[in-house]
Amino acid sequence: MRHDVVLRLDRTTAEDLHVALYEAGEHIAARAAITPPTTEEAERLGTLLRDLRHALGRRCSPYCDHL
């Protein structure tokens, strides 16, 4: 399983991700409006995306030093 990417999510972040993916899918399928996330949801999802980029071996900026 050398190419697997594994991230651990707390339940709240997992719920935030589910809502974001579901609403994006509904938007694409039916052009439904996407509800803007709260500040807290956006911060959790931002952290998740940063962690995913790192798990994929990508840096978040040229100055990223936390890999």
Evaluate if residue 14 carries a pLDDT over 60: yes
> Token pair 């938007």 is at which residue?
27
Cut 0.85: pTM above it: no
Provide DSSP, the chain.
Answer: -TT-------HHHHHHHHHHHHHHHHHHHH-PPPPPPPHHHHHHHHHHHHHHHHHTT--SSTT----
Length of the chain: 67
Q: What is the pLDDT of residues 30-53, one digit of tens each?
A: 988 888 999 999 999 999 998 898
Evaluate if residue 65 carries a pLDDT over 70: no
